[in-house]
């Protein structure tokens, strides 16, 4: 084994003992595996957020061709609440970790959500939604995200 030191025992046999470098690399491997697993979970959540946000946008495009606009808007509200909960799961998954280490894993879904919320708000109120309003919808209490798991 290239990474192990060979030491003689009292009987003259060689015994492999892992070196400190090898042990350090095992720790690094575990840290990297943990980080990659988290990244993959975030990518999966992001995919769900993106898909449901796009479906909501497609639903909202039907507003001009349906007799009951309010019914479509209410269905979009329900879908956006579901997306919001998935974003809550992303926030929970991130925990105290540095947001910028993982932002590529989930940012496209957040952008799609903002587009869906903006479109919904515009159809309902005929005004643009403010950044503060969007941010206020994305403040989560711990119980909110835990309920849907």
Residue 115 annotated as part of some ligand binding site: yes
Q: How many CB atoms lie within 10 A of CB 139?
A: 9
**The pair of three-digit structure tokens given for residue 114, joined into one six-digit string:** 């903002």
**The pair of three-digit structure tokens given for residue 131, joined into one six-digit string:** 């950044």
Q: CA dihedral defined by 38, 41, 45, 48, rounded to 10 degrees?
A: 160
| Residues of the binding site for Mg(2+) | 115
| Residues of the binding site | 115
């Amino acid at each position: 084994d290239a990474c192990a030191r060979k030491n003689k025992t009292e009987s003259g046999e060689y015994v492999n003992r892992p070196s400190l470098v090898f042990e350090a690399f095992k720790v690094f491997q575990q840290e990297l595996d943990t980080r990659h697993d988290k990244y993959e979970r975030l990518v999966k959540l992001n995919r769900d957020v993106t898909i449901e946000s796009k479906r909501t946008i497609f639903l909202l495009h039907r507003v001009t061709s349906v007799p009951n606009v309010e019914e479509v808007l209410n269905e979009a509200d329900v879908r956006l609440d579901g997306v919001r909960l998935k974003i809550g799961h992303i926030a929970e998954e991130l925990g105290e970790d540095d947001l910028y280490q993982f932002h590529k894993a989930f940012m496209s879904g957040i952008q799609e959500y903002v587009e869906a919320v903006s479109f919904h708000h515009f159809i309902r109120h005929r005004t643009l939604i403010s950044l503060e309003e969007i941010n206020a919808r994305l403040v989560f209490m711990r119980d909110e995200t835990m309920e849907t798991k």
